[in-house]
């Protein structure tokens, strides 16, 4: 066993999908797992979450910020993947940045950058990538509050300044604490239009490979008739690139979207419509700020 660990070739790159909470709800991981064989043929390894989440957390805590030894790296890697080598190893967990209970306290995932530095120290010699979906705090906080068990609204909001929540602060902190790690970001609100591009960005699979369930997310917000018509149209008019595909999706979504699935009601105690609109405007400005950040690859329709 020891010799197989030491002879194992480390993956060229580890991809950390960071969530955030209340964005894809594990849909990305489920889709990649369903296409595990197709991806494996391209050197992309997608282990089941139970193989690495607790293991990485416990290992990072034991290391206390110090880089793991080669033996420790080999041992952990041996438990995560059965393959001898990989070009990309995909790890997804919305608790990488922190737990939902404190995700907005004092800012968005204020300990997230330090946590990711600690996780990366488990494999200090392996290049990493971060992938993150962000969401309008006006809908993110209500969704986050719904995840709380046995906590009152007052307890949840303790230490949360809604008007000061900026995803750009988290991203800047991730860059500062994890220099040289590429970061790919997209807005959760755009995910239905971008889903195939998101899957490809995270997995790194060849553009000519279409993953099973790539339209699964879109199918959840579009009528069955609309989906059938769109796919039939794409069969007879194959999109030449991602931008063309997004335009087709957008056109069919405008006509066949299920209103109850795309209309997001903001329900928080003491929040007026004007206050929610103010938060949304701040989010739009924040997205513009992120678009201009060097070292950030932003996926947009």
What CATH number does residue 160 fall under?
3.40.50
Give pLDDT, residue 208.
Answer: 82
Considering the domain boundaries, does residue 25 fall inside one? yes
Low-confidence residues of the chain: pLDDT under 50 = 1-7
Domains in the chain: how many in total? Answer: 1
Is 236 within a domain? no
Residue 74 CA to residue 81 CA, distance in Å, equals 10
pLDDT number for residue 56: 98
Residue 128 domain-assigned (yes or no): yes
The pTM of this model reads 0.89
pLDDT in tens, 75-101: 999 999 988 889 999 999 999 999 998
Contact 258, 221 (CB under 8 A): yes
What pLDDT was estimated at residue 210?
80
Assigned domain for 46 exists: yes
DSSP 56-124: HHHHHHHHTTSPPPHHHHHHHHHHH--SS--SEEEEE-TTSS--GGGTTTTSSSTTHHHHHHHHHTTST
**Considering the domain boundaries, does residue 199 fall inside one?**
yes
Domain, as residue range, for 283: 2-210+267-299
CA dist 117 and 113 (Å) reads 6
Please report whether residue 252 resides in a domain: no
Q: What is the pLDDT of residue 10?
A: 52
Q: Contact, 248 vs 239, CB < 8 A? A: yes
In a domain, 17, yes or no: yes
The SS3 call for residue 175 is helix
Residues 175/183, Cβ–Cβ less than 8 Å: yes
Total Cβ atoms within 10 A of residue 164 = 13
- Asked, for residue 241, whether it belongs to a domain, the answer is no
Read out DSSP for 125-143?
Answer: TSEEEEEEEE--HHHHHHH
């Amino acid at each position: 066993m020891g010799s197989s660990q030491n002879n194992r070739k480390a993956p060229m790159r580890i991809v950390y999908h960071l969530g955030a909470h209340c964005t894809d709800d594990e849909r990305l991981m489920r889709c990649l797992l369903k296409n595990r064989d197709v991806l494996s043929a391209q050197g992309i390894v997608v282990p089941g979450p139970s193989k690495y989440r607790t293991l990485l957390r416990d290992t990072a805590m034991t290391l206390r910020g110090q880089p793991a030894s080669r033996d420790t790296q080999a041992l952990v890697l041996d438990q995560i993947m059965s393959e001898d080598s990989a070009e990309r190893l995909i790890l997804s967990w919305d608790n990488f940045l922190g737990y939902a209970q404190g995700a907005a306290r004092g800012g968005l995932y204020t300990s997230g950058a330090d946590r990711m530095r600690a996780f990366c120290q488990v494999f200090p010699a392996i290049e990493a990538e971060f992938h993150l979906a962000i969401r309008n705090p006006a809908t993110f906080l209500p969704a986050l509050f719904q995840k709380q068990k046995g906590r009152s609204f007052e307890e949840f909001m303790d230490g949360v300044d809604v008007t000061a929540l900026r995803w750009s602060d988290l991203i800047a902190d991730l860059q500062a604490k994890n220099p040289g790690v590429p970061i790919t970001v997209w807005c959760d609100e755009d995910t239905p239009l971008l889903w195939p591009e998101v899957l490809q960005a995270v997995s790194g699979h060849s553009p000519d490979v279409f993953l099973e369930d790539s339209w699964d997310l879109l199918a959840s917000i579009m009528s069955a008739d609309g989906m059938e018509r769109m796919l039939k149209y794409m069969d007879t008019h194959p999109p030449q690139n991602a931008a063309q595909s997004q335009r087709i999706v957008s056109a069919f979504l405008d006509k066949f979207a299920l209103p109850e699935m795309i209309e997001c009601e903001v329900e928080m105690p003491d929040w007026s419509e004007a206050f929610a609109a103010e938060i949304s405007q701040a989010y739009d400005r924040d997205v513009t700020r992120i678009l201009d950040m060097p070292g950030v690859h932003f996926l947009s329709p």
